[in-house]
Amino acid sequence: MRNKTILRRAGALAAVSALALAAACSQGPAETPETGAPTVEEADEFITGVEDWYRDFGEYSARINWVNATYINYDTDWLASRVAAEGTEMGVKFANEAKRFNDLDLPAEMRRKIEFIKLGLNLPAPEKPGAAKELAQINTRMASTYATGKIELDGETVARVDLEEMMGTVRDPAKLEEIWVKWREIPVAENDDGTTMKEDYARMAEIANAGAKELGFDDVGAMWRARYDLPPAEFAAETDRLWEQVKPLYDQLHCHVRAKLNEQYGDAVVPQGEPIRADLLGNMWAQSWANIYDLVAPADADPGYDLTALLKAQNYDATRMVKTGEAFFSSLGFEPLPETFWERSQITKPEDREVVCHASAWDLDSQDDIRIKMCTKVNSDDFQTVHHELGHNYYQRAYKDQPPLFQGGANGGFHEAIGDMVALSITPDYLKEIGLLEETPDASKDIGLLMAQALEKISFMPFGLLMDKWRWEVFNGELTPETYNDGWWELREQYQGIRPPETRDARYFDPGGKYHIPGNVSYTRYFIAHILQFQFHKAACEQAGWTGPLHRCSVYGSKAVGEKFNAMLEMGASKPWPEALDAFTGTSKMDGEAVVEYFAPLMEWLEEQNEGRTCGW
């Protein structure tokens, strides 16, 4: 699954800290008495001051957070908490000052910047003294708890990354349940100060909601939705519309997967007509089912190759995998990555210290100091993740000449979709061209290839949608700490058709077992990215002159695609996302029809397989 976090200095949704788009260190633009109506000149001066200070503070904070993510200890946690508090305090100050210009008739670019300043805080703290510091401490503590929690299995401490891998290889339901349950003990374990992640999360929501209300939003969820150039309620309806376009495909996939798991485990473990046990789907969070391909794939439609085996047979290491990803972008006409990328990135997990292994792409100076941070393993998943993370880096570099407030994706989904669009071009033809495959499998293997893709991408879509739906319910008060877990599993059953392997009562905080919850990374971007990547892919294939089935298209080597693609990337966030979408695809409307077209052969096959089965849950 390519839904990895990125840290970009001008990204409004940065995950590692609660920094604002408009953050500054110990000073800010000069304050003037608020006498009389504000003027356009005052607004311009204010924006200039914010952007000037942000250039300095953004790099300072990014470097501290890089050190914290790659050397986790008490001191770097302290530094990360301190810089997050500084950034949040100034972000709150700037956001509240920006409200002065709400009713002023401003040029479009200035108005957009003013709105970005107000929306730039990921988690806004209220202006009262100490609130920003407390919020930063909570966020740092939750992130550190997630990254450093220890899990015992069979009498040994097991690395979290190894447990994730085990979920994809173990086939014993009892062992899978044990791993699944122990992973979720971390969010309810007490920290050194006696608090738990669940208690921290509740307090975080309380503080951030107070800050959002001061900025004029109903709650944090409404504030997050407002970032998408649409009114919050309209944006929520738009995500529902997109889900309805692809839901029939998910329903057919779910029906087939459950039937095959029933054959593997029997009625006692996988009863027909009921939600599927979450721990049986090959992934710690049941967000990707790719690891159970061997259990559910068509018997006569094997993909024809095992990419992990191919990589290992040709002695790929982590660096070579990243070099291969770079070569793809070079084939589209992009300049090579800077030498500092190779000198400063964390490509493999260090042996001597705690680090955040969650894959991420970083832009430390808003110019050329771009990096990735991964604990890369030589396998198919990380091969595609490399392409995804590099997509972030190339996007970051493309918009580096935009003003600081516009150095970000057209919306959050754009940033996530860029690399995934490239990964859709990792077809058998591409693998043959770069020497990983000797012969391209014929069309009879396509159902197997599409099944493998669907188990990763289609299975993810409802998860990508419900993550923020849960948070929206937390932020608007519909869910309380006593109902956090119940609300979580209600949504997972409603959208995914899955259930926990054991009864989970109100004591648990199962949402905290997913990095993006304690990390406060808004997740709707990933759902949108799974729509946009196919829409981008279809547009790119048309530009490349491809006339065959969409799932067989690779744009590797197409300079024409690269030129138009880069033109969209260079826009950054300077224009509303419908304009950026139109610049590359020729339409300003997000559309799930490209997903439907891509998987059309698989949909037909699934409907045939499911004939006579009891579908739904």
Q: Is 8 helix (H, G, I), strand (E, B) or coil?
A: strand
Per-residue confidence band for 21, with pLDDT thresholds at 50, 70 and 90: very low
Mean of per-residue pLDDT scores for the chain: 91
Task: Give the pLDDT confidence score for residue 35 in this predicted structure.
Answer: 53
Which amino acid, 604? E
In a domain, residue 136? The reply is yes
The candidate with the shortest Cα–Cα distance to 224, out of 6, 10, 461, 14, is 14
In a domain, residue 43? The reply is yes
In a domain, residue 604? The reply is no
Give the total number of structural domains in the chain: 1
In a domain, residue 102? The reply is yes
Q: Check 389, 416, 456, 473 and give the catalytic one.
A: 389
Task: Give the pLDDT confidence score for residue 441 in this predicted structure.
Answer: 86
In a domain, residue 28? The reply is yes
- What percent of the chain lies above the pLDDT cut of 70? 94
End-to-end CA distance of the chain: 25
Compare 418 and 19 and report the one with higher pLDDT: 418
In a domain, residue 131? The reply is yes
In a domain, residue 502? The reply is no
In a domain, residue 65? The reply is yes
368-413, pLDDT tens digit by residue? 999 999 999 999 889 999 999 999 999 999 999 999 999 999 998 9
Q: What secondary structure, in 3-state letters, does 181-242 show? A: HHHCCHHHCCCCCCCCHHHHHHHHHHHHHHHHHHCCCCCHHHHHHHHHCCCHHHHHHHHHHH
Is 70 exceeded by the pLDDT of residue 8? no
Q: What value does the mean pLDDT take over residues 306-316?
A: 95
Q: What value does the mean pLDDT take over residues 503-515?
A: 95
Is 70 exceeded by the pLDDT of residue 12? no
427-445 burial string, b = 16+ CB within 10 Å, else e? bbebbbeeebbeebbeeeb
Task: Give the pLDDT confidence score for residue 299 in this predicted structure.
Answer: 85
Distance CA 334, CA 396 (A): 13
Are residues 288 and 1 in contact, defined by beta-carbon separation less than 8 angstroms?
Answer: yes
β-pairing, 370-373 vs 360-363, is antiparallel
The two three-digit tokens of residue 594, written as one number: 């490209």
Task: Give the pLDDT confidence score for residue 160 in this predicted structure.
Answer: 82
Burial bucket for residue 335 (CB in 10 Å: 0-12, 13-18, 19+): exposed
Q: Check 256, 388, 516, 530 and give the catalytic one.
A: 516
The alpha-carbon radius of gyration of the chain (Å, integer) is 24
Question: Is 389 annotated in the active site?
Answer: yes
Distance CA 610, CA 553 (A): 28
124-181, pLDDT tens digit by residue? 889 899 998 999 899 989 988 888 888 899 999 998 878 998 999 999 999 999 999 9
- What percent of the chain lies above the pLDDT cut of 90? 77
- Matching residue, tokens 């990964």: 423
Burial bucket for residue 502 (CB in 10 Å: 0-12, 13-18, 19+): exposed
Residue 29: give the domain boundaries. Answer: 13-146
Which amino acid, 560? A
